[in-house]
């Protein structure tokens, strides 16, 4: 049986909000008596009779208490804009690596005002290991369906998921109606992003984006073979300038979205051949990633080529399919494990003529190095169940599920070989 434990803590602190409108009372330095609730959920250990020692939660909180209590929160690195939301996210991200079963963090700023970071447990992979970064790919499904609620759920969920780099497809921006969805993600979490339009759509554009908690350096977009004015297909590439303590060197990330009709496998073959040329043009001494909606199952020739299982145009490559590598699953399309376009998601019905229950979304990683960089430490399907918006609406984040992969980016001394 699963249970949920909650510990309650308090601290006193001052802060101000630097980004509120001019004249807003919260722009002045003021204080709060904060209350914090930390919740942990999971099964009871039959040997101990408990889920977790309350002391473990106490130990994790103590470090934060010393950082917060009777301090100005704006002086805490990462809380320069110390809204209730950002404090809750900060606490979550500090505690999650120590307590994998963390299920919720609630911060009460006043007796009647609180912020809760909480997502369905199936959306939360375990905390990533030291030396690894977390990558997420997601087709946003633009402004289709209840897009405002879907975006709200995504923004709330990302705090707990804590990705380092995100590849996005079907990102929409329509002046006066739909804000750039990648920009909204970046703004909410204080991250960085680049966006490139691929197709004019509804008075605005649809395109691809890369979002990163680290600075983004050089970036470029190139059209894929068979791209047209009404159905633009591109690859967006960006150099992520992560600091040396989380990645051994800056690295390139690419996101893309291939031809979507099932009979367009020949087009997709040309597109993956072009993608590999783009990756080769950006080769350096670090790992590279290709993330996106490939609109093809693992048994298709275009995906089998990416993973070194067949030859196209006289060429072979050998990228790692992160989800398959981590799950040790067969590559066949008949197994529902890893499916990202699923009949359980009602939004798939909007395109009822496309076959459901297929794995279409991938994170490809260049081969593992002898120093263990590019080792896939885990991969998960996320956003595969609905969540509840602030308006009480039950929604899925998108018509696609997302894929997350944790990949080692810090070099280790190579092991001796016989």
**What is the spatial distance between Cα 39 and Cα 101, in angstroms, rounded to a whole number?**
9
Catalytic annotation, pick one of 19, 30, 70, 231: 70
Following DSSP, what letter does each residue of 177-219 receive, concatenated? TB--HHHHHHHHHT-EEEEEEEEEETTEEEEEEEEESS-EEEE
236 sits in which H/E element: strand 234-240
Asked if residues 53 and 40 have their Cβ atoms less than 8 Å apart, the reply is no
d(CA 108, CA 97): 23
The DSSP code sequence of 42-53 is EEPPTTTSSSS-
Pick the catalytic residue from 15, 84, 85, 109: 109
Q: What distance in Å separates the CA atoms of residue 409 and residue 330, rounded to the nearest whole number? A: 26
- Using alpha carbons, select from 9, 38, 32 the residue that is nearest to residue 111: 32
CATH number of 2-118: 3.30.479.10
85 part of the active site: no
CA dist., res. 184 & res. 188, Å (int): 6
Question: What does the alpha-carbon distance between residue 348 and residue 402 come to, in Å, rounded to a whole number?
Answer: 14
DSSP type of residue 390: T
Q: Which residues face 106 on adjacent strands?
A: 37, 116
N residues, the chain:
418
Q: What ranges do the domains of the chain cover?
A: 2-118, 132-408
Q: Residue 213's CB: how many other CB atoms inside 10 A?
A: 19
What distance in Å separates the CA atoms of residue 292 and residue 105, rounded to the nearest whole number?
A: 31
Give the DSSP letter string of 76-98: STT-SS--HHHHHHHHHHHHTTT
Q: What is the DSSP string of 156-181?
A: HHHHHH--SEEEEEEEEEBTTTB--H
- Comparing C-alpha atoms, which of 254, 193, 260 is closest to residue 222? 254
**pTM (two decimals):** 0.75
- DSSP-derived letter for residue 25 is G
CATH class of domain segment(s) 132-408: alpha beta
Estimate to the nearest angstrom the gap between the alpha carbon of 338 and the chain centroid: 16
Half-sphere exposure of 25 (CA within 13 A, CB side): 2
If residue 229 lies in a helix (H) or strand (E), which one and from where to where? none
Distance of CA 92 to the CA centre of its chain: 16
Q: Are 181 and 140 in contact (CB under 8 A)?
A: yes
Is 70 an annotated catalytic residue? Answer: yes
Cα distances from 73 to residues 10, 92, 109, 146, in angstroms, run: 14, 16, 13, 36
Give me the pLDDT at residue 124, please.
Answer: 65
- Residue 53's contacts (CB-CB under 8 Å, 6 or more residues apart) are none
Spell out the per-residue pLDDT of the chain, length 418, in tens: 568 899 999 999 999 999 999 999 999 999 999 999 999 987 787 788 898 999 999 999 999 999 999 999 999 999 999 999 999 989 988 887 788 778 889 999 999 999 998 755 555 677 788 899 999 999 999 999 999 999 999 998 887 788 999 999 999 999 999 999 999 999 988 899 999 999 998 899 999 999 999 999 999 999 999 999 999 999 999 999 999 888 888 999 999 999 999 999 999 999 999 999 999 999 988 999 999 999 999 999 999 999 999 999 999 999 999 999 987 543 333 344 789 999 999 999 999 999 999 999 999 999 999 999 999 999 999 998 888 877 778 899 999 999 999 999 999 876 655 4
Q: Which of 26, 37, 264, 282 is catalytic?
A: 26
């Amino acid at each position: 049986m699963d249970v949920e434990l909650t510990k309650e803590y308090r601290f006193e602190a001052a802060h101000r909000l630097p980004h509120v409108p001019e004249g807003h009372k919260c722009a002045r330095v003021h204080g709060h008596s904060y209350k914090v609730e930390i919740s942990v959920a999971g099964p009871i250990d039959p040997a101990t009779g408990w889920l977790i020692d309350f002391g473990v939660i106490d130990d994790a909180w103590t470090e934060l208490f010393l950082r917060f209590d009777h301090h100005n929160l704006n002086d805490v690195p990462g809380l320069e804009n110390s809204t209730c939301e950002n404090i809750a996210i900060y606490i979550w991200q500090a505690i999650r690596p120590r307590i994998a079963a963390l299920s919720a963090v609630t911060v009460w700023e006043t007796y009647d005002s609180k912020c809760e970071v909480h997502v369905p447990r199936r959306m939360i992979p375990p905390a990533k290991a030291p030396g690894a970064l977390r990558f997420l790919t997601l087709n946003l499904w633009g402004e289709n369906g209840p897009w405002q609620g879907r975006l709200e759920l995504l923004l709330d969920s990302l705090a707990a998921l804590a990705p380092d780099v995100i590849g996005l497809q079907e990102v929409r921006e329509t002046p006066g109606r739909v804000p750039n969805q990648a920009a909204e993600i970046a703004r909410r979490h204080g991250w960085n992003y680049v966006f490139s339009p691929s197709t004019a759509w509804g008075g605005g554009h649809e395109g691809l984006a890369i979002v990163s908690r680290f600075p983004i350096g050089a970036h470029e977009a190139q059209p894929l073979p068979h791209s047209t004015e009404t159905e633009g297909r591109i690859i967006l590439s960006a150099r992520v300038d992560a600091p040396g303590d989380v990645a051994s060197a800056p690295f390139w990330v690419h996101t893309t979205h291939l031809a979507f009709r099932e009979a367009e496998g020949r087009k997709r073959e040309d597109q993956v051949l072009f993608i590999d040329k783009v990756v080769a043009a950006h080769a350096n001494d670090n790992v590279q990633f290709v993330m996106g909606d490939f609109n093809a199952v693992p048994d298709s020739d275009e995906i089998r080529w990416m993973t070194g299982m067949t030859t196209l145009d006289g060429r072979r490559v050998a990228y790692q399919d992160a989800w398959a590598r981590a799950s040790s699953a067969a590559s066949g399309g008949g197994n529902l494990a890893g499916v990202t376009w699923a009949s359980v998601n009602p939004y798939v019905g909007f395109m009822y003529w496309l076959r459901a229950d297929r794995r279409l979304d991938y994170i490809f990683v260049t081969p593992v190095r002898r120093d263990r960089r590019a080792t896939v430490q885990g991969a998960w399907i996320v956003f595969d169940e609905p969540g509840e918006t602030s308006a009480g609406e039950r929604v899925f984040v998108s018509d696609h599920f997302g894929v997350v992969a944790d990949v080692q980016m810090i070099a280790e001394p190579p092991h001796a070989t016989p």
